[in-house]
Amino acid sequence: MTIPATHTEIEQIYLAAEMKQCRSLCITACQSGDGVTSVVSALAERYMLAGHKTLVVDLNTFHPAFEAVDITPNQHNQVGHLIEHSSTHQLFTGLTVPSNQSALLAYKDPSQLTKVMSGWLNEFDRILCDTSPILQINRSNIPAQVVASACDQTALVVMGGKTSSGQLHKATQMLDSNTISLLGSVLNLQQQATLAEEMVRELNRLRFIPLNWRKKWAQKILTNEFLAQSA
């Protein structure tokens, strides 16, 4: 899924972060596949359009989304290098998931990651961190709440029609800390059925109505502009 950098919702997140004077933003979600990387990529583009030198940091050890592009010799001493989104092939200046155990252990330590983040901010205007799902807890993951505590603000992506209220409650509890500032939630409606689709689904359950009638009515419902909105 690719989200345009000029999308209205991305603009709202961008403005909210800027009004909070946020330089480092953590994007996380309850579970994998909720759209965190898509939001990170779109926001990174939005920051670059605004003229900010932006660093994208992939800390999602559960499902890394970025790969390093070949590094030229003069890049080895630089903080960021060219990285590519494995699916969309978008290019950013960033850092891929650490490959060595010592770096992973350092990033799991809140104080260590905070120091590292401060160093990155000396060279970049804005930093976006893509994290593992906050409810995906295992020994190999860098906990999302640790990343959140090292960033100025945190945004929680919620997948409509998939994330349960119980999962959302547990995630917000895990982000409830004096060291974490929650910017807000991002509702991803990609998998949420529209009102029209829900109506057609219910219509098709009425088997006593002739099939050709149901098809005709379904076509009218699906092409109705008012009903073509998320339920």
Q: Are residues 119 and 25 part of one domain?
A: yes
Distance separating alpha carbons of residues 94 and 79, to the nearest angstrom: 8
DSSP alpha helices (H): ranges in 153-231? 165-174, 195-203, 211-222
Question: For every one of its 231 residues, what pLDDT tens digit does the chain have, with 9 covering 90 and above?
Answer: 677 788 788 899 999 999 999 999 999 998 887 788 999 999 999 999 999 999 999 999 888 999 988 765 555 456 778 999 988 889 999 999 988 888 888 899 999 999 999 999 999 999 999 999 998 877 788 999 999 999 999 999 887 666 678 888 888 899 999 999 999 887 765 555 555 666 767 778 888 888 888 888 878 776 776 655 544
Q: Are residues 206 and 119 part of one domain?
A: no
Q: Are residues 219 and 142 part of one domain?
A: no
Q: Are residues 227 and 212 part of one domain?
A: yes
18: domain CATH number is 3.40.50.300
- The position carrying tokens 């029209």 is 196
Task: Output b/e per residue, 187-226; b: 16+ Cβ within 10 A.
Answer: ebbeebebebbebbeeeeeeeeeeeeebeebbeebeeeee
Give residue 104's pLDDT: 87
Q: Are residues 217 and 104 part of one domain?
A: no
Q: Are residues 37 and 73 part of one domain?
A: yes
Give residue 42's pLDDT: 92
Q: Are residues 199 and 183 part of one domain?
A: no
Split into its structural domains, the chain has a count of 2
Q: Are residues 79 and 31 part of one domain?
A: yes
Give residue 120's pLDDT: 95
How large is the angle between the packed helices 211-222 and 195-203, nearest 10 degrees?
A: 170
Contact 26, 148 (CB under 8 A): yes
Give residue 78's pLDDT: 64
All residues at 6 or more sequence positions from 206 whose CB lies less than 8 Å from its CB, including other chains: 214
